[in-house]
Amino acid sequence: MKPASERTSIIITCNDSHLPVDNRNLAYRAADAYLPYINKPFHVKIDLYKHIPTEAGLGGGSSDATAVLRALNTYFNQAVDRSALTLMAARLSSDVPLFLAEKTVRVIVPPVTGVSTARAYALLDAMPNRQPGTSTERLLSHLRHKKQTSMNVSELLAMGLSNDFESVVLVAYPDVARAYEMIVSAGALRALLCGSGSAIFGLARDLQHANDHNMTSKQTRVGMGLDAHRFLPTQNGSSNKIMLCGVEVPATFDIEANSDGDVGLHALVDALLGSVAAGDIGMHFAPDDKQWAGANRNMTSKQTRVGMGLDAHRFLPTQNGSSNKIMLCGVEVPSTFNIEANSDGDVGLHALVDALLGSVAAGDIGMHFDPNDKQWAGAKSSIFLKHALMIVHEKGGELVNIDITIIAEKPCITPYRQIMREKLSELLALDIERVSVKVTTTEKMGFIGREEGIAAQAIVSVLV
């Protein structure tokens, strides 16, 4: 968190590549909802480390949003009062205010199987004569009268809560039903399905109540794995090394396998996955997928790759030399000329697109967006940038930094350099400290020196 010179920017990083890091993410939207109350621009960087299972109904996104709201309000010395913060939370998602509420003691049973939210809704919609469960008014009535009763929040919630999904999910998923019964038999005030499942939570009166009924104890699970590979002869029976339990072992043969063929680690992976009913190694790493060819125990490590891009466009005069605006690195810059181009002619973003594509050997911008195709006439170059970034992510790439150099005698670009950095940081969801924009001229030499056009170079580093 640090003050910004022009406008607010929000950047999110996440250790789960499947989750969005733009305004589809509740943490992003929480920061976006809070910051207008401050009346000053700020750069906000949020690092998400996800450990909550998906398809479990555990409100991972909502808890992220709550953490952001609490952190911002603490940073700004409670600039937003409790009621306004709760209203803000409710606009983000219906369960975000619950995370802001008074703490209750909840015992969570980890999911043994996933429940798709879409399937849960389909089962619920197919249920004939369905009656709604929890009455919001009844629940609020219980909570409003807290001061008039000796019961704490957990006990009041136990009286007022229900979950419509339980009527179908507990029938369709026996493993979830058994977890539900385990919580009830352990002495919880109330067991409830988390959202659409599959996790179950139980309400305890307090921590002592949970401990007295052994609700906080964990289950012991066992997983078993088995793996086998065929030997292959080496050339002329020469010496070789194979991998066993992560260690190189001398051998006079090779292992027939797509990866490094480490039977010890493969069996261990299957055992770990089996202990939590998460399938087998082949479900997570398809054996015929070429990206795992030769992968070894360090296959989570990444290589650093570099991509380079270059773009140039010719100037076109405006009518009577009138003022105009051209696009550079996603920012409008005043100019007395137009750019000859099919799209918006943003040389900075075009060079960056080529650099991103080059880093993962995915061709160039013209291969993906034909310059003669009329559908791209006047198109924003940010469209091309998002496409290139998506390809990098699909190939397992993680953008580390970018460096762009704009080469021009005119227009005057230096005053807009910081704004360009901020815009690029926003478009790429990349820390602004990893975004460089430089400006230079050709000392009046060549077509740029004669003020006939403009060019840009870009270089990126990517972990793949």
- 46: CB partners within 8 A, 6+ apart: 10, 11, 12, 13, 27, 28, 31, 68
Spatial contact of 229 and 259, defined as CB atoms under 8 Å apart: no
- 385: CB partners within 8 A, 6+ apart: 330, 349, 352, 353, 356, 427, 428
Task: Write down the pTM of the prediction.
Answer: 0.40
Q: What is the rounded CA–CA span in Å between residue 69 and residue 79?
A: 11
Short-list 344, 340, 366, CA closest to 353: 366
C-alpha distances (whole Å) from 150 to each of 153, 154, 208, 211 are 10, 12, 17, 21
Question: pLDDT truncated to tens, each residue of the chain (464 aa)?
Answer: 788 777 788 888 887 777 788 888 888 999 999 988 888 888 889 988 877 665 556 677 888 888 999 999 898 888 888 888 888 888 888 778 877 765 544 445 555 567 777 788 888 888 776 666 555 666 666 666 666 666 666 676 666 677 888 888 888 888 788 778 877 777 777 788 777 777 777 777 666 666 665 555 455 566 778 888 888 887 666 667 888 888 888 888 888 888 888 888 988 888 888 777 777 788 788 777 777 776 653 444 467 899 999 999 999 887 766 668 899 999 999 888 889 888 889 999 999 999 999 999 999 998 888 888 888 888 899 999 999 999 998 888 889 999 999 999 988 888 899 999 999 999 998 999 899 999 998 889 999 999 999 999 999 999 88
Q: What is the rounded CA–CA span in Å between residue 54 and residue 67?
A: 19
Paired tokens of 6: 């022009």
Paired tokens of 190: 């109330």
Cα dihedral value 275, 279, 281, 284, nearest 10: -130
Domains by residue range for the chain, with CATH:
101-126+133-219 (3.30.70.890), 239-280 (no CATH), 304-463 (3.30.1330.50)
Paired tokens of 458: 């870009």
- Within 10 Å of residue 446's Cβ, how many Cβ atoms? 12
- 430: CB partners within 8 A, 6+ apart: 11, 399, 401, 402, 424
Paired tokens of 437: 């924009």
Beta bridge partners of 317: 337
C-alpha distances (whole Å) from 14 to each of 19, 33, 111, 208, 360 are 7, 20, 22, 36, 21
